[in-house]
Chains A and B, each alone.
Chain A
Amino acid sequence: MATGFIILFGLTMLYLAATSRIIAHIRILIVQGVLLFLISCCGAEHTNLFNLIFLAVETLIVKSIVIPWFLYKVLKQTHSNRDVAANIPHFYCLVISSIVLLAGFLVSNYFISSVKMIAPIYFGVSAATIIISLWLITIKHKIISNVIEFITMENGIFLLSLSVAKEMPMLVNLGVLLDVFIAVYILGLFVNEINKEFNDLEVSHLSDLKDYEYND
């Protein structure tokens, strides 16, 4: 059961790589939040009730309602619907992401299966998610897409922490949740400020600070 959800989670990354409409990216975030909730429920036989409630709040409320809603608001304010001019055509994005995902499966099955502490499939998909997200950050042109990929990377890390057979201390989980939430909030505020200042959300505007030809 859990394996199916994890594979679906991996496939959402391919969808993210292949589309250019930002509203679709935000919908993918909702899907990922729900999938993470289902995955954490599947592996939850050994956890206590308090932990389960916390996971539900984190994945369902924060990851699939609050953050997407907030990003949707930012998107409406800034009127940017598409990230058209990516550096690499979408087809190649899809191919490269698929290769990374496949490599994640293979590497984790060959090397990690000997370690008892982590489940290979979790490890492979989460590592692939983190790598694909980081790579997409480097090729996208709109800063709001960068924020979305930052969140998918955090989702990948969340999946990685689920893969460890034992739990992180509760306080750390809470702190991580709070920090990620505030980080997204601040990034969202900055997106608005950048939109006001430059009337646009192109990353290329943010390249004025240099060492050689410095304009004061």
Chain B
Amino acid sequence: MAKLAIFDYGAGNLFSLESSMRKNGAKQVSIIKDMDTVDEFDGLVLPGVGNFDPAIISIEPFKRALEKASVTGTPILGICLGMEMFLERSEEGKLNGLKLLKGYVKMLDKKKVKVPHIGWNNLNITNKSSKLLSGVQNESWVYFVHSYRIVSQEKEITMASTEYGTVFPVVIEKGNVFGTQFHPEKSGVIGEKIIRNFIGVCIKSK
């Protein structure tokens, strides 16, 4: 049974994420504000509510622990902003990202579409070996709330993309690092499937 940790940047609702993790197979879910005990968990979740710089400030002291986890240790799931922090920098902030992935975070094109991108959009699954998307059908609906998108310099990490003004990666996987631009905890039964898949990865990697 999986023990998961959700990192708290101090902004917003972790309740629904926590209850979704519990509902979908996590035996224990802890909200943590430091990474001192990160090795005790089977999986780490970086949630998707907040702003880039304040979130980076809160997580910066634990960069080493995250780097270590990304290579050998605990699987990490970044949701929305949580995923955006994996990259090198973001137009949302001035601070450097966690640099676990190559690329940057760019604002959606306000000239083409209304921003934020809020609501339900389709997944275009581009890599069928995706662990998070195992058993999820192409064109499934998932729920987005974001103003920024990732521009990845590692094409092979993209598992699914979505179109809104432009086409961008919305599910990424690289080793122990997983990310979704949408909110699986808010994406109905499809989102629950994705969370169960992540928890499955955590159990396997124990």
Asked if A pairs with B, the answer is no
| B contact set with A: CB distance below 8 Å | none
| A contact set with B: CB distance below 8 Å | none
